[in-house]
Amino acid sequence: MNDIQSGTPAQQNVKPSTEDNFLYFAIKYKAAVISALVVLVCLGAGTFFWMRNQQTSEQEAALQLSRIAPLLDRREFRTAINGQGQVAGLKKIADEYAGKYTGTPSGNMANLLLANAYYSLKEYDNALTVFKSISIKNDDLSAAALAGTGDCYFSKNQFEIAAESYQEASKKAENSVLKAQYLTLAANSFQQQNQFEKAAELYTKIIADYPGTTGAAVAQRSMWQISGNL
């Protein structure tokens, strides 16, 4: 009788089952669970709308960028930068659609074209600022931005920094032709400083690593030119 009322020691030590634990948890923390589910649903919806918004932004950026192409073909760089009438310029397109995390492909391309336009106008400091701000997932385009900084430094007669930029561009590029081309520019930057040994080292590497490329042909000719200085 006492066993029935108080329970045996064995019965008193029995732990709740997994189902009981889950039910207790669900009841006690029901509000928290519901809130967590709501957050997850909202995050999922947010991601969906963000992706949809990105797609729309890319279409808008691509359309605006297509209107700039004729200006670039005609080398009307100032107009391409600032825009004309209803045609948005590269600067506006880049401001609205370029960015490291939220930028669209066409927006980032507009940024690259903007930097090139400044360079073509010999506004090297403006070009440098834009080239350094560029963030593009495509390695070859990212390398082109690094090479652009090299072009700017070269034009400013800062050959040592130019050589560094070109070498970084070569490392970044995936295309072997571009790798060779950028290394050739780096070697030429050293050559401009009369650092013929460094230039020869790069020219030799280009000839050995990238045979048959235009860069290798240029490197071979340059080696002949500087051979008397080694």
Query: How confident is the model over 53-96, as pLDDT tens digits?
Result: 557 778 888 889 889 889 999 999 999 999 999 999 999 999 99
d(CA 149, CA 140): 14
Query: How confident is the model over 168-179, as pLDDT tens digits?
Result: 999 999 999 999
pLDDT of 56:
77
Higher confidence at residue 89 or residue 2? 89
Please, which residues bridge with residue 88 across strands?
83
pLDDT of 215:
93
Secondary structure letter of residue 212 according to DSSP: T
d(CA 172, CA 61): 26
d(CA 130, CA 81): 12
Task: Spell out where the chain has E strands.
Answer: 83-84, 87-88
Residue 222 pLDDT more than 90? yes
d(CA 19, CA 177): 65
The mean pLDDT of the chain is: 80
Residue 41 pLDDT more than 60? no
Query: How confident is the model over 7-24, as pLDDT tens digits?
Result: 434 444 444 444 444 444
pLDDT of 60:
87
Q: How far from 61 is each of 26, 49, 109, 197, 227, CA to CA, in Å?
A: 48, 18, 10, 47, 50
Higher confidence at residue 59 or residue 204? 204
Share of the chain above pLDDT 90, in %: 57
Q: How far from 80 is each of 57, 102, 135, CA to CA, in Å?
A: 20, 23, 21
Concatenated DSSP letters of 111-146 = HHHHHHHHHHTT-HHHHHHHHHH---SSHHHHHHHH
Residue 105 pLDDT more than 70? yes
Query: Residues 157-165: what's their mean pLDDT?
Result: 97
pLDDT of 180:
95
CATH of 138-230, one of 1.10.3720.10, 2.60.120.20, 1.25.40.10, 3.30.420.40: 1.25.40.10
Specify whether the CB–CB gap between 179 and 166 falls below 8 A: no
Q: Where are the domains of the chain?
A: 27-133, 138-230
